[in-house]
């Protein structure tokens, strides 16, 4: 009898562990604001002068974004379940590519400042890159904070990377930041070069805010000031 009970117990444990045997999948949530931010970066990048952008007519970045976004949008429309790990890794890879492309464009523009004597053209390019910088880091903050947008909506979520005013002093325990909140954080970081009402808590959040401030400072101090002097 003891052996039989042990066998039944082991069989029961095996059946209980079966749901966790494979990777869990979730239904992709339609984060249209973040998708719109990515598309806006691609459009702004396409409007840059040919000497600054990559690919024919500057549409290379839009094409790369399409490779990542079209399968996600298809999964949302068809309500298919996907692995959260796949979503997370894909988002980070895409943001890494966008960051590399835009940082290269900013550095290339600074390197060719002496040869460019068109003040209005410099100002136009600098403002486009400045807008891309804000949108790009808004997406970074939205993606990394607390492990991503899906984890932030869980009731047991206790490890944020940013501390918003609504989260201080237990004002609203059910409040969850949206993409526009991160867009505001990125805008203030690019204009004030420091956090304002939202504090970075983790090392990665502080590092990203440092990189954003450096890129914004380079654009404002070199590109815009050069353009104003020429004009």
Task: State whether the Cα torsion 44-215-212-225 is positive or negative.
Answer: negative
Calculate the CA dihedral of residues 97, 99, 105, 110 and round it to 10 degrees: -150
Return left, alpha or beta for 172; rule: phi > 0 is left, psi -120 to 50 is alpha, else beta.
beta
- Residue 199: strand pairing partners: 163
Question: Mean pLDDT score of the chain, rounded to an integer?
Answer: 80
Chain segment 48-99, per-residue pLDDT in tens: 888 787 777 678 888 899 999 888 888 878 877 777 777 888 889 999 999 9
Note the helical H segments in the chain: 2-17, 32-46, 60-78, 84-111, 119-144, 149-152, 179-192, 203-218, 225-230
CA atoms within 13 A on the CB side of 219: 26
Arithmetic mean of pLDDT, 21-28: 56
Q: How far apart are CA 52 and CA 46, in angstroms?
A: 10
Predicted pLDDT of residue 211: 92
Q: How far apart are CA 10 and CA 166, in angstroms?
A: 49
Is residue 139 a contact partner of residue 33, using CB atoms and an 8 Å limit?
Answer: no
Domain extent listing, the chain: 25-230
Chain segment 147-159, per-residue pLDDT in tens: 877 777 665 556 7
- pTM, entire model: 0.81
Q: Which residue has the tokens 């690919």?
A: 55
Predicted pLDDT of residue 171: 63
Predicted pLDDT of residue 185: 94
Q: Which residue has the tokens 């079209």?
A: 70
* Percent above pLDDT 90 for the chain: 29
Higher model confidence: residue 230 or residue 43?
Answer: 43
Q: How far apart are CA 160 and CA 162, in angstroms?
A: 5
Predicted pLDDT of residue 105: 85
CA atoms within 13 A on the CB side of 70: 6
Chain segment 202-213, per-residue pLDDT in tens: 999 999 999 999
Is the pLDDT at 110 greater than 90? The verdict is no
Predicted pLDDT of residue 83: 76
Maximum Cα interatomic distance, the chain, rounded to a whole number of Å: 94
Return left, alpha or beta for 82; rule: phi > 0 is left, psi -120 to 50 is alpha, else beta.
beta
Confidence of residue 117 (pLDDT cuts 50, 70, 90): low
Is residue 206 a contact partner of residue 161, using CB atoms and an 8 Å limit?
Answer: no
Predicted pLDDT of residue 181: 92
């Amino acid at each position: 009898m003891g052996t039989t009970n042990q066998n039944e117990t082991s069989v029961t444990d095996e059946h209980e562990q079966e749901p966790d045997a494979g990777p869990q999948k979730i239904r992709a949530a339609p984060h249209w604001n973040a998708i719109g931010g990515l598309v806006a970066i691609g459009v702004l990048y396409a409007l840059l002068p040919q000497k600054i952008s990559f690919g024919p007519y500057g549409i290379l970045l839009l094409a790369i974004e399409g490779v990542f976004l079209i399968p996600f949008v298809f999964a949302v429309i068809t309500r298919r379940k996907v692995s959260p790990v796949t979503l997370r890794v894909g988002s980070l890879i895409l943001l890494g590519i966008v960051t590399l492309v835009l940082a290269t464009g900013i550095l290339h523009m600074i390197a060719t400042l002496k040869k460019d004597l068109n003040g209005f053209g410099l100002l136009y390019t600098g403002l486009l890159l400045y807008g891309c910088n804000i949108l790009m880091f808004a997406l970074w903050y939205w993606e990394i904070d607390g492990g991503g947008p899906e984890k932030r909506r869980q009731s047991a979520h206790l490890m944020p990377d940013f501390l918003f005013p609504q989260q201080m002093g237990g004002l609203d325990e059910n409040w969850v930041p949206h993409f526009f909140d991160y867009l505001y954080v990125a805008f203030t970081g690019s204009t004030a070069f420091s956090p304002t009402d939202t504090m970075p808590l983790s090392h990665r959040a502080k590092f990203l805010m440092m990189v954003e401030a450096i890129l914004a400072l380079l654009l404002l101090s070199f590109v815009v000031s050069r353009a104003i002097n020429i004009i």
